[in-house]
Amino acid sequence: MDIPSLRNDTPGCAFHNHLNNAGASLPPLPVIEAIKGYLEEESLHGGYEMAAAHAQDTAGFYNAAAKLLNAKPHNIAFAGSATDAYFRALSSIPFEAGDVLLTTDDDYVSNQVAFINLQKRFKIKLLRAEKLPEGGVDPQSMKELMDEFCPKLVAVAHVPTNSGLMQDVETIGTLCTERDIWYMVDACQSAGQMPLDVAKIGCDFLSVTMRKWLRGPRGAGFLFVSDLALGAEYETIFPDSKGGAWNSPDSYLLEPTAIRYEQWEKNFALVLGSKAAIEYALALGLENIEPIVNELAVYTREQLSNLDGVRILDRGRRLCGIVTAHFDGKTPEQITKALKGANINAGIGTTINAHIDFTEKGVDWALRISPHYFNTKEEIDAAISVLRQIA
Ligand SMILES: Cc1ncc(COP(=O)(O)O)c(C=O)c1O
């Protein structure tokens, strides 16, 4: 990969050492131009008129998202965020009192809150599988809980927000397929940093955000819905006129594709910005992106672990581009202030984002460094030198 030219293509690289790609990445020029261009046209010619004129372009978003996941365009729904996509999918599972939802300790905070809400509202039973000694959910524990409790839904975040862990979503997918259990994967932190294949994962639903590793706009995400779930006539709790055609006073016809999970109103500039971002990632090749991200993350962990009083928190058989560390006796404010002073962007996670994980690790906050392929070792060295002074 020609990193200097990719950095030239990323205006933000001229301003910051941006190591917060798990928060929100810096978009490349084609994404910025797609959004700006569309907004300008819309302002001059009218929103409905421009949506009609760009119908072909908009269709390209579904093609690109499908290609990214090895799916078909009819399996894709645009959404306002990963959480929006996830909640639409979750609301389509017809839970009844006593149904079991099986998940992990490391699933995303908002998803956990939604599960607890379902528990309150529908009296479902929420189970979390055991972890492996080296970190990450134990597929054997998942299997045993599936066999004992026959869950209605298994929900797993591929990569959590709070550590570099990669869950074994494919093995869990096979277990779900063998037992005809609905399977929902949160790929918010994996999409854009590694290849994803919904056929290999074997999931029925998969949610993605655009602003992180895919380098797309904020306020955009998408959902994959399997043919099985579409065929079962699953639908989000409130389809609007896009998802359901009102064909008699008391009925509506459900849209046959995953579009039934969308709403009629959307920001078309963001749809086109998302298309540009996915096409950019596809042109580089996810198989080329993943090893660069991994190499930078491994380097970051090595350098951080050499600092006094710094503990690397990432645990699991396979790790990815998120690096988390705790600095004994220091505060997150000290770290943020020092990094900001050196023009370095990184993230801080707290227990509220990772209640179970951080409690088990005995920390209440962690620094999160998440380098992308356009970052350099020199940028990581610059961050380490600031952090060394604090440590
Ligand atoms: C693992 C994971 N899932 C879901 C989300 C939510 O994504 P969004 O903010 O696009 O809804 C995040 C955001 O950080 C995340 O890290």
CATH code where residue 170 lies: 3.40.640.10
Summarised one tens digit per residue, pLDDT across range 306-326 is 999 999 999 999 999 999 999
> Average pLDDT, whole number, for the chain?
97
**Residue 46 Rama label (left phi>0; alpha psi -120 to 50; beta):** left
157 CB under 6 A from ligand 1?
A: yes
If pLDDT is split at 50, 70 and 90, which confidence band does 329 have?
very high
Distance 157 CA to ligand 1 centre (A): 10
State whether 113 and 256 are in the same domain: yes
Taking CA atoms only, the protein residue closest to ligand 1 atom 4 is 188
Q: Ligand 1 centre from 148 Cα, in Å? A: 30
Which residue's structure tokens are 């198989």? 287
The predicted pLDDT at position 241 comes to 95
Q: Which atom of ligand 1 is nearest to the CA of 157?
A: 1
- Summarised one tens digit per residue, pLDDT across range 260-302 is 999 999 999 999 999 999 999 999 999 999 999 999 999 999 9
Average pLDDT on 159-173 reads 98
Query: Which two structure tokens, joined as six digits, stand for 63?
Result: 């093609």
Q: What is the pLDDT at residue 158?
A: 98
Whether the CB-CB separation of 260 and 239 falls below 8 Å is answered with yes
Residue 316 is predicted with a pLDDT of 97
Note the pLDDT tens digit of each residue in 67-98: 999 999 999 999 999 999 999 999 999 999 99
Residues 220 and 325 in one domain: no
Domain span including residue 208? 29-283
pLDDT digits (tens, 9 = 90+) for 350-391: 999 999 999 999 999 999 999 999 999 999 999 999 999 999
- Per DSSP, 194 falls in state B
Q: If pLDDT is split at 50, 70 and 90, which confidence band does 191 have? A: very high
Query: Which residue's alpha carbon is nearest to atom 8 within ligand 1?
Result: 82
pLDDT of residue 296: 98
End-of-domain residue from the set 247, 266, 283? 283
Residues 209, 306: one domain?
A: no
- Ligand 1 centroid from CA 86, angstroms: 10
Tell me, what's the pLDDT at 289?
Answer: 98
Are residues 176 and 219 both part of a single domain?
yes
Instruction: Please tell me whether residues 46 and 106 are part of one structural domain.
Output: yes
Does residue 106's CB lie within 6 angstroms of at least one atom of ligand 1?
no
> Measured from the CB, is residue 193 less than 6 Å from ligand 1?
no
Question: Which of 224, 259, 283 represents a domain boundary (last residue)?
Answer: 283
What is the structure's pLDDT at 134?
A: 96
Q: Write the single-letter amino acid at 6.
A: L
pTM of full prediction above 0.75: yes
254 shares its domain with 327: no
Q: Which atom from ligand 1 is nearest to the alpha carbon of 161?
A: 16
What CATH number is attached to the domain comprising 339?
3.90.1150.10
Do 306 and 262 lie in a common domain?
A: no
- Ligand 1 neighbourhood includes 155 CB (under 6 angstroms): no
Q: Is the domain of 349 the same as that of 213? A: no
Residue ending a domain, among 221, 251, 283, is: 283
Strand order in the sheet with 205-209: 76-79, 221-225, 205-209, 182-186, 153-157, 100-103, 125-128
Q: Total structural domains in the chain?
A: 2
Mutational test site, ligand 1, from 84, 105, 209, max ligand atoms within 8 Å of CB:
209
Mutate to test the pocket of ligand 1, among 81, 83, 169 (most ligand atoms within 8 A of CB): 83
So what's the pLDDT on residue 153? 98
If asked whether residues 195 and 229 sit together in one domain, one would say: yes
**Atom from ligand 1 closest to the CA of residue 221:** 10
Same domain, 210 and 291: no
* pLDDT, tens digit (0-9, with 9 covering 90-100), for 99-138: 999 999 999 999 999 999 999 999 999 999 999 999 999 9
CB 186 near ligand 1, within 6 Å: yes
Do 45 and 141 lie in one domain? The reply is yes
Q: Does residue 107 have its Cβ closer than 6 Å to ligand 1?
A: no
What is the helix (H) or strand (E) element at residue 292, kind and residue range? helix 286-305
233 and 245 part of one domain: yes
Quote the percentage of the chain above a pLDDT of 90.
Answer: 99
